[in-house]
Amino acid sequence: DGPQIKYGNKNLVEFTKVDVNLLPTVILVGRPNVGKSALFNRLIRRREALVYNTPDDHVTRDFREGIAKLGDLRFRVLDSAGLEMAATSGSILGRTADMTANALARSQFAIFLIDVRAGLHPMDLEVGKWLRRHAPGICTILVMNKSESLDDGAGLLAAAAGEAYELGFGDPIAISAETGLGMAELYESLRPLLEDHMLQVLDGSQENSSCDVEESKLPLQLAIVGRPNVGKSTLLNTLLQENRVLVGPEAGLTRDSVRAQFQFQGRTVYLVDTAGWLQRTKQEKGPASLSIMQSRKSIMRAHVVALVLDAEEIANAKSSMKHAEVVIARRAVEEGRGLVVIVNKMDLLRGRKNSKLYEKVMEAVPEEIQMVIPQVTGIPVVFISALEGRGRISVMRQVIDTYEKWCLRLSTARLNRWLRKVMSRHSWKDQAAQPKIKYFTQVKARPPTFVAFLGGKTQLSNTDLRFLTKSLKEDFDLGGIPIRIMQRSIP
């Protein structure tokens, strides 16, 4: 029997046989210099791109096409080479627009890029109008590129998101084609759309692609990450117990994405990227730097990231977290994943002579995590001994609890009752400094993302955002979840 995996009623093993010509096509659009080529290159990495040269008066325009790889997703990606604008009128010139229109006709999805550093440009509005006119059936994801350059933090990004929303393509995703920031969120947005599309293709029931897919039906994806020898494999075997099921390649994708799954209290949990290292031998374990690279990939595909630390090492060291661990934890939070920290090998600290060390570790780890990730309070920490098989239940409770919070949706009515309360509870030194939030709503889950609607030209400062984030966390028990707040002004 070959590996089998079920998704809905369909057997996804067949997906591996899908011809690349059936893969969904995603076109990159945006005015020149927003970073389309940079994103294209990141998506296809070292793979070959087909370049179509279209001789055109005196210039040669490149039109590139390639197979994109984003986590375990594969799709065709087209770089529209920039919609050429007439400098004077701001309108799109016919010749490039025609070429792009041809490419649009072959695409089911579009990624509309804007440059967050430059702010919204009249040409962006033009591209948006053009896209709506020529590709009304295409599901478009709006991305703010170059967002790594806004180092002033949440405030600027939240304001830029509000501005970008006015393009009419929903809430934007902040990415950096250059550093890779936000790729996990791009993956999270594309994945349900592409999977849905593939199911329709295989069904022969292909209709228009649609932007509404019920993401809550996707099962929990858990990544276990950490440096070599902290006990990840041992923990994994504890979690899988006799329940282990190895399953086949994922949706449409490749043979190397075999994954393991188990049931916990009636829930299916997929273990991301773990099937491979289950069978791995000691010698094959690489250095810590390699574990960072592997974790980056896993983090993208995971909903919840479990970072495993070694208690004995912590007891004997000055700081509880090593560089690699700090990098991994920060990355998980930046990418909007739920994070659970697991301190393993607690059995080594038992016994009278060690009791001080046991306490030291129990105190030091939560403190240090708070210090290295100040923006997310209340990240859960679980102390276990995987070798003794202890801690399976506590680990899974925290993982599921984190996942549920990560998926939480709060109604607008409830949020606005809450908003009135927190605003009256808090006293601003200067009455004029109090932000004029008209209302507050949740636009997205996984992770929970909110929009504050502001009256007139006011803006939320970083202090306001920190205050709102902290209050949301406390009042709705969202500890450990990287929540986001965007702002938008209304007249």
Using the rule CB under 6 A, is 38 a contact of ligand GDP? yes
Strand partners, 304: 222, 338
> Three-state DSSP class for 98?
helix
For 438, the 3-state DSSP assignment is strand
What's the chain's length in residues? 491
Q: Judged by CB, which is closer to ligand GDP: 326, or 468?
A: 326
Q: Is 143 in the site for ligand GDP (CB under 6 A)?
A: no
In the numeric block, the tokens 């009752």 are attached to 417
Residue from 24, 66, 71, 82 binding ligand GDP (CB under 6 A): 82
- Give least dist CB 295 to ligand GDP, A: 12
334 lies in the binding site for ligand GDP (CB under 6 A): no
**CA separation for the pair 117, 149 (Å, rounded):** 7
Binding segment for ligand GDP among 174-182, 435-443, 446-454, 481-489 (CB under 6 A)?
174-182
Query: Which one of the spans 173-181, 196-204, 419-427, 436-444 is the region binding ligand GDP (CB under 6 A)?
Result: 173-181
The single residue among 16, 18, 32, 52 that binds ligand GDP, judged by CB under 6 A, is: 32
**Minimum CB–partner distance for residue 272 and ligand GDP (Å):** 15
- Judged by beta carbon, residue 163 or residue 310, the one nearer ligand GDP is 310
Q: What residue spans of 225-287 are helical by DSSP H?
A: 232-240, 275-278
Edge-first strand listing for the sheet containing 484-490: 437-444, 449-455, 484-490
Q: Which is nearer to ligand GDP, 234 or 261 (CB)?
A: 234
Name the DSSP class of 168.
Answer: S
The pattern of x and - marking residues 207 through 226 that bind ligand GDP according to CB under 6 A reads -------------------x
Report if residue 92 touches ligand GDP, rule: CB under 6 A. Answer: no
Judged by CB under 6 A, which stretch of 160-168, 172-180, 351-359, 369-377 contacts ligand GDP? 172-180
**By C-alpha distance, which of 458, 459, 480 is closest to 469?**
480
Report the residue from 64, 74, 76, 232 that binds ligand GDP according to the rule CB under 6 A.
232
Beta strands across the sheet bearing 59-70? 50-56, 59-70, 73-79, 25-29, 109-115, 139-145, 173-174
Query: Is 149 near ligand GDP (CB under 6 A)?
Result: yes
Q: Can you read off the two tokens belonging to residue 431?
A: 């009455």
* Binding of residue 229 to ligand GDP (CB under 6 A): yes
Query: For residues 318-352, b (16+ Cβ closer than 10 Å) or e, as one string?
Result: eebbbebbbbbbebbbbbbbbbbbbbbbbebbeee
Cβ neighbourhood burial of 408 (10 Å; 0-12, 13-18, 19+)? middle
In 3D space, the residue among 205, 203, 171, 202 whose CA is nearest the CA of residue 189 turns out to be: 171
Distance CA 130, CA 318 (A): 58
Give whichever of 234 and 320 is closer to ligand GDP, judged by the CB atom.
234
Q: At closest approach, how far in Å is the CB of 11 from ligand GDP? A: 31
Cβ proximity to ligand GDP, 191 vs 232, nearer residue: 232
When the beta carbons of 12 and 81 are compared against ligand GDP, the nearer one is 81
Strands 73-79 vs 59-70: parallel, antiparallel or unpaired: antiparallel
Q: Count other C-beta atoms under 10 Å from residue 7's C-beta.
A: 16
Q: Considering only residues 387-416, where is the footprint of ligand GDP by CB under 6 A?
A: 387
Interface with ligand GDP, residue 172, by CB under 6 A: no
- By CB under 6 A, the residues from 347 to 376 that bind ligand GDP are 347-348
Binding of residue 228 to ligand GDP (CB under 6 A): yes
Question: Do residues 83 and 92 touch, judged by C-beta distance below 8 A?
Answer: yes
Q: Which stretch binds ligand GDP (CB under 6 A): 5-13, 59-67, 130-138, 145-153?
A: 145-153
User: Strands 245-247 and 259-264: what pairing?
Assistant: antiparallel
Q: Supply the Cα-derived Rg of the chain in whole angstroms.
A: 24
252 binding ligand GDP? (CB under 6 A)? no
Interactions with ligand GDP, residue window 258-317 (CB under 6 A): 285
Which region among 8-16, 35-43, 120-128, 334-342 touches ligand GDP (by CB under 6 A)? 35-43
Are the CB atoms for 270 and 259 separated by under 8 Å?
A: yes
Q: Which of 178, 313, 401, 475 binds ligand GDP (CB under 6 A)?
A: 178
Q: Does 231 bind ligand GDP (CB under 6 A)?
A: yes
114's enclosing H/E stretch is strand 109-115
Q: Is 180 in the site for ligand GDP (CB under 6 A)?
A: no
Give me the amino acid identity at 59.
V
- By CB under 6 A, the count of residues binding ligand GDP is 32
Residues forming contacts to ligand GDP in the complex (CB under 6 A) are 30, 32-38, 82, 145-146, 148-149, 176-178, 226, 228-234, 285, 344-345, 347-348, 385-387
